A = this chain, B = another copy of it.
Amino acid sequence: MKPIFAVILAAASAAVPAIADPLPSWNDTGAKARITEFVDSVTDPTSEVFVPVAERIAVFDNDGTLWAEQPIYFQMLYALDILQQKAEEDPSILTSDVLKAAAENNLEGVMAGGHEGLLEVINVSHANITPEAFKSSAHEWLTTEDHPTTGLTYAGMTYQPMLELLSYLRDEGFATYIVSGGGVDFIRAIAGDAYNIPSQQVVGSEGTTTYAVTDGVPALTKEGGITFIDDKEGKPVGIMRHIGKRPIFAAGNSDGDFAMLEWTTAGEGARFGLLLHHTDAEREFAYDREGHIGVLNRGLDEGPDRGWLIVDMAEDWSRIWSSN
């Protein structure tokens, strides 16, 4: 058996990029080393903090963590486009000031309606459609429409360093999940193509879906209405509901991710919390403590003392977008 074993070992080590840099878009500014040191420690069977493969669960926020979220969540821009198409066909659907503002692409008017206003836009734009048709529509929009300031497609505005991190973790035996405040069907529309993450590894906010047989054809229909908001304290809840285990690695960028990182890193053994700090006004967007999207206060104040890695996008990343 010895020669066979040696051959298999040789083949195995040839397949593992032991020397190649798994995170080539990360500068050597310290952040990269902290990530690889953690991964080395939990994947080394002789390590005191070794974690078996089944427990190597890594969770990632989506908006602002895996792709951009300015000037507003991409899902909201999609919802506005769809609402405007629907209103052209039937203006009578614009039954409120928020919906009228949305139809005129008046973002401030929509935001003035607060959380309820956003839900109203989502409800009208995302309802009365099968999940399959919705995902097909969202996929087309994300891969063909251009972002207002970068001119890139939305699907092209994923962060190359984060794609490398996802891929690196998977190569090291982690299961990578998205845990997002965004709608689960919207993210699933692109998660396979954009992140190589299958639909069952996407956790998100959920709406009312019903099952019915019409003319002999069974189908699910998205009805509008939100049944679960996977944000803030909802993120640990959503993870337990969906995955049933506490992750050992969590990445986010806003205080909406605080509870997820808090819960993840409070577990026993080695844990990793990562917050992206949007510091790069030139290549991406610079924002943190103020604004209407991706607000990061508590994470900046408490994250370092909690041992979380704060990634400075301007300093730590040599490249931003996956598409250029």
Contacts and interface: CB of A to CB of B under 8 A. Distances in A.
A193 to B, nearest CB: 13
A257 to B, nearest CB: 13
A266 B168 CA distance: 39
Interface in A145-164: none
Interface string A292-322: 0000000000000000000000000000000
A131 interface: yes
A266 B218 contact: yes
A262 interface: yes
B131 A266 contact: no
A230 to B, nearest CB: 11
Interface residues of A, number: 41
Contact of A244 (B54, B184, B240): B184
A210 B198 contact: no
Contacts of A263: 211, 218, 220
Interface stretch (A4-12, A24-32, A69-77): A4-12
Contacts of A4: 7, 10-11
B200 A243 contact: yes
Interface string A269-300: 00000000000000000000000000000000
A11 B184 CA distance: 41
Nearest to A198: B54
Given A8-B7, A266-B218, A241 B211 contact: no
A213 B243 contact: no
Interface string A161-203: 0000000000000010000000011001000000000111010
Contacts of A212: 233
A212 B175 CA distance: 26
Contacts of A188: 244
Contacts of A244: 131, 184-185, 188, 198-200, 202
Contacts of A16: none
A233 B217 contact: no
B262 A218 contact: yes
A252 interface: no
A245 interface: yes
Given A4-B11, A199-B244, A200-B244, 4 more contacts: A200-B200, A218-B259, A218-B262, A242-B242
18 contacts: A3-B7, A4-B7, A4-B10, A175-B200, A184-B244, A185-B244, A198-B244, A199-B243, A199-B245, A200-B200, A200-B242, A209-B237, A210-B233, A211-B237, A213-B262, A218-B266, A220-B236, A220-B263
